[in-house]
Structure formats: C-alpha cells, structure tokens
Structure 1
Amino acid sequence: MDIQTTKLELLRIILENENAEFIQRVSDFVKKEKNDFWDELSLSEQEEIKKGIQDLDKGKRVSYESFLNKIS
C-alpha cells in the first residue's frame, strides 16, 4: 500500500467513526507527533531568540531602516 492510499484509508476510517474517544485519541496522537520548529533549533539559536524577546520586552527596538543600514 503506498502512502497516498494509506492516508486515504486513514481518512475514511476517521470520517466513518462516531466514537468521540477514538477521535480524541487520534487528535492527541497527531498533535503529539507534530514537529515544533523550536525543537529543531540549536541551543544557541533558541538563546538568541529568547534574548531578542527579552530586549523587545524591555523596549529595546531598532527601526527597520536602521537594521537595513547595519546589515548592508
């Protein structure tokens, strides 16, 4: 069975199922399996983002034009 056929079969099973508990378990499983981009970042990338958020929370901001001048 190829992947597309398997997906369609799973969809058919879900659509035909009226058991709320089953649907909830499937939903929970899918949510758990979904990759979070945060987990794919390195620790240094995560720290940079956290620092940026802290800076923004403290009111430290740079205008877009200033940023463009800095990087060009």
Structure 2
Amino acid sequence: MNLELRKIEFVQEFLKIQNEEIISRLEKMLRKETETSLEDSFERMSIEDLNKRIDQSESDFENNRYKSSSELLAKYK
C-alpha cells in the first residue's frame, strides 16, 4: 500500500472518531512527532563553521555585497 492511500485511509478513520480524548491524544502525538522530525532535519553548526560564516558575512557587508530588506521586499511584491 502506498503512502498516499495510507494517509487517505487514516484520515477517513480519524473522521469517524467521536471521542474527544482520543483526538486530543492523536493531536499531541502528531505535534510531538512533527517537532522531533523538524529537530532531526537540522544539522548543528560547529563553532568554527559559525565563525567562518560570520566572517564571510562581515566581509560581504564591507564589500557592499548585500541587499537591503526593502530591496528583498520589492523583489517579492
């Protein structure tokens, strides 16, 4: 069974639930799993890498290699 079909079947079963306590527990479980998944998707940056990135950013700013917030906003309007 593929993932899309499993999700559809899950939602159909979820919609049949009449017990608020069960829905609350499922909501908590979903939040916890989502948070864990997001945390796992980020890689921690070493202090050395962070300092390199800061140095590069400062160099870019000093050499006028940046865009102002108004320029960025104008790009997406």
Tell me which of the two structures has the higher relative contact order, counting C-alpha pairs closer than 8 angstroms and 6 or more residues apart.
Answer: 1
Q: Aligned ranges for residues 26-65 of structure 1 at < 5 Å? A: 26-34=26-34, 35-37=37-39, 40-44=42-46
TM-score (norm 2): 0.51
- Structure 1: which 5+ residue stretches go unaligned? 49-65
Aligned length: 56
**Displacement of 1:68 after TM fit?**
7.6
Are 2:12 and 1:12 aligned?
yes
TM-score (norm 1): 0.54
RMSD: 3.4
Query: Secondary structure in 1 aligned to 2:64?
Result: helix
Are 2:22 and 1:22 aligned?
yes
* Residue number in structure 2 paired with 1:62: none
**Displacement of 1:40 after TM fit?**
1.5
AA matched with 2:42:
E
* Residue number in structure 1 paired with 2:64: 69
* Residue number in structure 1 paired with 2:54: none
* Residue number in structure 2 paired with 1:56: none
